[in-house]
Amino acid sequence: MSTEHHDQTPDINLPHETGPWDAALNTLCEWDPVWADGCAKMSTNPWATGILPRKLVELVGVAINAACTSLNPDGTRRHIRAALHAGASRDEILMVLKMASLLSIHSCSLGAPILLEEAKAAGAQPSPRLGPLPSTPACDRMRAIGQWNEAWEPFFELDPVWTDQFMGTGIGVYASGVLPAKELELLCIAFDVSYTHMYAPGTRRHIKAALQAGATMEEIMEVLKVCVVQGVQACNLGVPILAEELEHAEGTSEGLSTART
């Protein structure tokens, strides 16, 4: 997609052309055309610049809607449909959904170091380990392919067997080859920087890795922009509800007026 379309406003009647929007945009155009026009131009900008391929923009849309921190069914369906329309394969979209599932590891990234610190302060000790140290082949492989994160050491220390089970699922993402390394890192940035998550350590780690994988500053900025425009889901959710409740309130008012007469 070329940059010559940068200043064009997408047709708001075509769902696959409107970025993060659904039919709520049409209602907004009726209620507040000036604000709706400005917001539509801002929020569809990443779809129009051509800096990222349309398919990748839609995969980022799938990521931030399907993420365990969001779980937006309408947005997930909208961007899966648009990703398929842009040429994404089942395996590529499935890979994004796998990544969205694994985002929850940050519960341990956050909590395990605090657990170790507070346990030390309280004088608490883990139960003695029986037998030899367990083998952790998945963790070993993650280290071997350069994908081990030092932030995982605390929960590896607390439960190496479970950590290895989890890392076994992570290898399926990093070593599959379904998506190029640069695209994987751009998607990871989207997961971590999204306003439903805002995980700073992961954002920095994946920006650094994306740059090393060949991503440009402009490409990374486009990912950040897609995450920002996700905020219009407030309108996708609320505008139809407001319209329904206005209709209900008007009907109730008319009913009361009729009853009084």
Give which of 188, 189, 196 is closest to 234, Cα–Cα.
196
Length of the chain in residues, anyone?
A: 261
pLDDT of residue 25: 94
Does 69 score more than 90 pLDDT? yes
What pLDDT score was predicted for residue 128? 86
Classify burial at 139, counting beta carbons within 10 Å of its beta carbon; exposed 0-12, middle 13-18, buried 19 or more.
buried
| Residue 107 Cα to chain centre, angstroms | 16
Whether the predicted pLDDT of 4 surpasses 50 = no
The stretch 82-104 carries a mean pLDDT of 96
Q: What is the pLDDT of residues 143-192, one digit of tens each?
A: 998 889 999 999 999 999 999 999 999 888 888 899 999 999 999 999 99
Query: Which of 97, 109, 114 minimizes the C-alpha distance to 62?
Result: 97
CB 203 within 8 A of CB 176: no
The single-letter code of the amino acid at 144 is A
The structure tokens 């425009």 sit at 229
Q: Please tell me the distance from the alpha carbon of residue 5 to that of residue 80, in angstroms, as a whole number.
A: 23
Percent of the chain surpassing pLDDT 90: 81
Show the 3-state SS of 204-245.
HHHHHHHHHCCCCHHHHHHHHHHHHHHHHHHHHHHHHHHHHH
**What pLDDT is stored for residue 172 in this prediction?**
81
Mean pLDDT of 234-245: 96
> Given a cut of 70, is residue 31 above it in pLDDT?
yes
Tell me which residue of 181, 186, 184 sits closest to 225, measured CA to CA: 186
Give how far Cα 183 sits from Cα of 56, 60, 70, 223, Å: 8, 9, 21, 11
Distances (CA, A) of 92 to 59, 88, 193: 8, 6, 21
